[in-house]
Amino acid sequence: MGISDVFKIKEFKSKIEALEKEIAGMKKIQTQEKGKNNNMKKDFYTAVADRRTIYGISKEKVTTDEVIKKVIDQAVKNTPSAFNSQSARVVLLLQKHHDKLWDITKDTLRKIVPVENFASTEDKINSFHNGYGTILFFEDISVIESMQKNFASYKDNFPVWSQQSSGMHQYVIWSALEIEGFGASLQHYNELIEVDVKKEWSIPENWKLIAQMPFGKPTAIPDEKQFQPLEDRIKIFK
């Protein structure tokens, strides 16, 4: 057996492994669909474990827009914030508005990414464009500034607490979307697109863009997640 034969065998094995992984992914998606069709809802811990960064998404309808709105309503209403400041602001973009966001992002990146590197950037943006919708997360700076004025002793903490609360809103919505059968990811093109976003959708100037969450029906599953030992990350004293 020559060296070329060895390489051919390795290449064949790699293709087989990739195919097996793809089949396993499709089986998992089919199992999730079966559970959804049987009106089975994931419990909290399962949703936490299954929530992953999903780049492979489609525009295929998973649930009603009313359910998506309910997810956002519940998160914005019930997610905690420092001093109950409620500074989080959320915008839901669907259909042509979702597409427009990623057109804006692509056009912006085209101006700053070298031509020879743009193909991979375009592929990434197109993967978000392929989704069903996008959720924009903002923080109301006027609320934060008011809290700083009213509670001067904590003024340096309020911007930090604001980010922490925004993160909780993102996580609650992300996990809830997982329960409803969506895949999602979290993106941060903030400063690059914020001016155009505010202009396109008449967003108040005092709303600061924090993150973008494209979501849709999963078309692929992520690689198996690796975990560091919990005993190195948790301490319990009784």
Dihedral sign for Cα atoms in the order 114, 116, 122, 124? negative
Report d(CA 173, CA 213) in Å as an integer: 9
- Residues 53-97 have pLDDT tens digits of 999 999 999 999 999 999 999 999 999 999 999 999 999 999 999
Radius of gyration of the chain, Cα coordinates, nearest whole angstrom? 21
Which DSSP string do the residues of 9-33 spell out, in sequence order?
HHHHHHHHHHHHHHHHHHHHHHHHH
In tens digits, what is the pLDDT along the chain, a chain of 238 residues? 555 554 555 565 666 666 666 665 555 555 555 544 444 688 999 999 999 999 999 999 999 999 999 999 999 999 999 999 999 999 999 999 999 999 999 999 999 999 999 999 999 999 999 999 999 999 999 999 999 999 999 999 999 999 999 999 999 999 999 999 999 999 999 999 999 999 999 999 999 999 999 999 999 888 999 999 999 999 999 9
Q: 211 with 187: CB under 8 angstroms? A: yes
Residues 6+ apart with CB under 8 A from 33: 181
Report d(CA 162, CA 168) in Å as an integer: 10
How much is the pLDDT for 24? 58
Between the CA of residue 161 and those of 5, 50, 62, 151, 205, what are the distances in Å? 60, 27, 34, 13, 21
Q: 41-222 has which fold?
A: NADH Oxidase (3.40.109)
**H-helix or E-strand containing 196?**
helix 190-201
